Structure 1
Amino acid sequence: MPSLVGKEIGPTGYGTMGMTWRPQPPTQEVCFETLNTTLELGANFWNGGELYGTPEYNSLHLLNKYFTKYPENAEKVVLSIKGGLKKGQLVPDCSEANIRRSVDECLHQLDGKKSIDIFECARQDPQVPVEQTIEVLAKYVQEGKIGGIGLSEVDADTIRRAHKVHPIAAVEVEMSMWSTDILENDIAKTCAELNIPIVAYSPLGRGVLTGAVTSLTDIPEGDFRHHLPRFSDDNFQKNLKLINEVKELATRKGIAPAQIALAWVRSQSAKPGMPTIIPIPGGTTKDKVIQNMGGVQVLTDSELAEIDAILKGNVVAGGRY
């Protein structure tokens, strides 16, 4: 198993973020059952943040309650937390004052029930050099308040610059068969060279690779995906061919499309010149976790070749954001 900040992690990660920012979040009882299931199945890399919810109730508050009830699980979990935004807004602010506010508030919300193993700014502030951001966070590592420093949604040059200031524990970026950008823009190459694991968010292509989205009407009204270019009427119709071919492959193998999608992400780690890649599929129920963790863990060379052909023949239309 790969290691992050001195802790072993299981075959896949898990995202807690989806639980506290949905219009109708699941009950605390369902959340706890889901989190317990992830640990039972070996998914002990958990990803949350103060932006997943509101300042009054976000994933850190949920985690506080969870680890209060299950203190024995605190050391089993590798916890990555995102912050560094203006309070209550999805706007980056990597000034020293705001980073300190963000880290301190996250620590306060956890209230010692669980340590922060990795802290990362959700987005790098274009007004602040990344070197300054890392210098501030490095002081928290030196003081023992956080275990390590991560990066989120940054380019290869930023990764190199940040790593020169302080070792980077992980880089979180979007990656799936729906989004293969990091394989082409030097991010994966750079992380492999520097021995930095990649945390792949949205490994199920924002839900489309689960097979549950066959038309735009399957996406609830008000869902933010309706604002993304890939989900515009014209682009989505083009992208349906990729979605359907993945579903057909999963049917032939007798497993769920989500399992194919996750196995593809995990299989990239085995390729020469690739870093360790940790997919963090979101999910709010025990059944979803069981499905995500089931099936094949990696794909055969012939299966990967078949998927490569599918991807080359069905270039995704529309930008990620």
Structure 2
Amino acid sequence: MAERHKLADINFLSHDSLQLHARLPTHQRHKGKSRAKDLGWCWVHGLKVSTHLNPTFERCDDNYYCCGGSTGLQVANVGHGLMMMTWKEKVVPDEECFESIKAGLDLVSPGEKIILNTGEFYGLNPPEANLALLNRFFTKYPEYRERAFISVKGGFNMKARQSDGSPSPFEKGEIPSTVHGNPPCLRPLGISVENINKWLGFKPDLFECARQDKNHPVEETISTLKGLVEEGFFDYIGLSEVSEATLRRAAKIHPIAAVEIEISPWTYELETRNVIQAAKELDVLVVGYSPLGHGFLASNYQPGTTFSDIRAHSPRLAPGALEANIKVRDALTKISTKLGITNAQLCLAWVVSLGPHVVPIPGSHTKSRTLENFSASNVKLSESDLKEINETIEAFEIVGNRYPAGVPVWT
């Protein structure tokens, strides 16, 4: 029998029950083999979250429980972050990125989707390079579009390096020729969204501001985004790096489909837990970015390692801090080695264990790493495993803040 896990008043089945397929009425059974085993689902404002990906098991389409919306959109419980495909000085070849993206999307069956997380500013020259990459990918492989749930960050003033949640002063279609320079002090939401759609070549599924603009209340931001949904620019509203209080305020204005926050064994703060709990109450999907600690927790970095990309600005990877934090990585390695899995799989399975509404989005630009990450969906940590991991997390004090001084967090 499958174990049951309580989410509010709804029961969810764990990954173990294969007998359920036989107990379903014949007309409800999936015919033939599927590339995804989804024995357990959670609805969060229309996003139906799969609890398992496995290319060898049969799939039970109707074995799910509802805790929110009703659109039938099935989202796998591990997603794919695309930022580091383009936010680096050394260009990653398109075909390498494409094979990495396809590796994840190939795991799902028709009607199911995997979150692909991108951003309007996830590039160096131009800032929209990540969007352009996706445009090229789906132009070459249009058949994969129906398998992807595209989540995009925007609403960020690249010149001022700060959030901009201003309502757009421009009418639809009136995009300045150089949106990063006109107007010089504003990056209104309407301009941001139209710019994203232009670079992608299609409308994304979900839009979220990279941070909540401190100059505009979240109620104003969500009201503006609601209008853009009604105009057909995207379908779902998300939030990124916001506090529990901001999430609750936003949800009063319009249903929030997802909230993206940093979650990993070295980033599990009190506010992280508060947001996860609030999201559970509000039927909001929690998307966990940097679940591998910017790759550090799955790495073999040694004392003295330096970085030439965005990680060079991380206080936790600075000289001195890195050496102290290696102890945490090594402690987790002992557990993963004992379990016969990789550190990446351990970290991702731990994030997934935080709730059926929690989806990590590890980044990768190679096919092999993508497959390693997605295979974490098949790892079931026991209560004793989780106890050991949690005790390890609590035993070490992480050295360094998540971001450099001045970067807004929990907005």
Is 1:204 paired with 2:289?
Answer: no
User: Which range is displaced more, 239-248 or 289-298?
Assistant: 289-298
**2:163 paired residue number:** 92
Instruction: Please give the alpha-carbon distance, in whole angstroms, between the structure 1 residues aligned to 2:273 and 2:386.
Output: 21
CA–CA separation in structure 2 for the residues paired with 1:168 and 1:87: 25
Tell me the residue number matched to 2:397: 315
- Name the SS for the 1:123 alignment partner: coil
In the alignment, the residues of structure 1 paired with residue 256 and residue 194 of structure 2 have an alpha-carbon distance, to the nearest angstrom, of 20
Alpha-carbon shift at residue 189 of structure 1 (Å): 1.4
- Aligned ranges for residues 140-289 of structure 1 at < 5 Å? 140-181=228-269, 186-217=274-305, 219-220=306-307, 222-269=308-355, 276-289=357-370
Q: Judge conservation of contact 2:259–2:284 (CA < 8 Å) in 1.
A: yes
Q: Following TM superposition, by how much is the alpha carbon of 1:283 offset from its aligned partner in structure 2, in angstroms? A: 0.3
Choose which of 27, 30, 54 in structure 1 pairs with 2:93.
27
**Structure 1, unaligned stretches of length 5 or more?**
271-275
- Tell me by how many angstroms 1:35 deviates: 0.8
Residue in 2 that maps onto 1:291: 372
Report the alpha carbon displacement of residue 130 of structure 1 after superposing the two structures with TM: 0.9
Q: Which residue of 2 aligns with 1:300?
A: 382
What residue number does 2:179 align with?
none
State how far apart, in whole Å, the 2-side matches of 1:74 and 1:238 are.
43
Q: Percent identity?
A: 38
Whichever residue aligns with residue 256 of structure 1, its letter is T
Instruction: Name the residue aligned to 1:69.
Output: 140
* Structure 1 or 2: more helix by fraction: 1
Q: CA shift at 1:298, angstroms?
A: 3.0
Shift of 1:289: 0.5
Ranges in structure 2 where 5+ consecutive residues have no aligned partner: 1-40, 48-70, 169-187, 404-411
Deviation of 1:182 after TM superposition, in Å, equals 5.3
User: Could you tell which deviates more after superposition, 189-198 or 51-60?
Assistant: 51-60
> Which residue of structure 2 aligns with residue 116 of structure 1?
204
Query: What TM-score does the superposition give when structure 2 sets the normalisation length?
Result: 0.72
- Checking the alignment, whether the CA contact within 8 Å between 1:2 and 1:8 is kept in structure 2 is no
Question: CA contact under 8 A between 1:17 and 1:59: conserved in structure 2?
Answer: yes
Aligned-residue offset at 1:228: 2.4
**Aligned-partner SS, 1:44:** strand
**CA RMSD, aligned part only?**
1.8
Aligned mates of 2:214, 2:271 — CA distance in 1: 24
Q: Deviations over 1:40-66 (max 9, x none)?
A: 134711000111014464211111111
Does the 8 Å contact 2:190/2:228 carry over to 1? no
Distance in 1 separating the partners of 2:128 and 2:206 = 21
- Separation in 1, partners of 2:304, 2:367: 26
Separation in structure 1 between the aligned mates of residue 127 and residue 311 of structure 2, nearest angstrom: 25
Q: Deviations over 1:172-195 (max 9, x none)?
A: 000000100256651111111111
Instruction: Give the 3-state SS of the residue equivalent to 2:101 in structure 1.
Output: helix
- Tell me: CA distance 1:87–1:238, structure 2 relative to 1, closer, same or farther (3 Å): closer
- Note if 1:82 corresponds to 2:82: no
Distance (whole Å) between structure 2 residues aligned to residue 22 and residue 69 of structure 1: 23
Compute the displacement of 1:13 (Å).
0.4
- Residues 1:144 and 1:158: Cα distance change in structure 2 (over 3 Å): same
TM-score, normalisation: structure 1? 0.91
2:234, 2:275 → 1: CA distance?
25
Change (3 A) 1:38 1:216: farther
Distance 1:237 1:36, change over 3 A: same
Find the residue that maps to 1:294 and give its secondary structure: helix
Shift, 1:11, TM fit: 2.8
Task: Say yes or no: does 1:50 pair with 2:136.
Answer: no
1:132-147 equivalences under 5 Å are 132-147=220-235
- What residue in structure 2 maps to residue 16 of structure 1? 82
Is the Cα contact below 8 Å between 1:2 and 1:10 reproduced in 2?
A: no
CA contact (8 A) 1:64 1:111 kept: yes
Q: CA deviation at 1:24?
A: 1.0
Secondary structure at 1:80 match in 2: strand
Distance 1:233 1:307 in 2: 26
Residue 34 (structure 1) shift? 0.9
Larger radius of gyration: 2
Aligned to 2:67: none
Matches of 2:130 and 2:315, distance apart in 1 = 28
Q: 1:10 to 1:266 in 2, by over 3 A?
A: same
SS of the residue 1:96 aligns to:
coil
Residue 80 of structure 2 aligns to a residue whose secondary structure is strand
Letter in 1 for 2:374: M
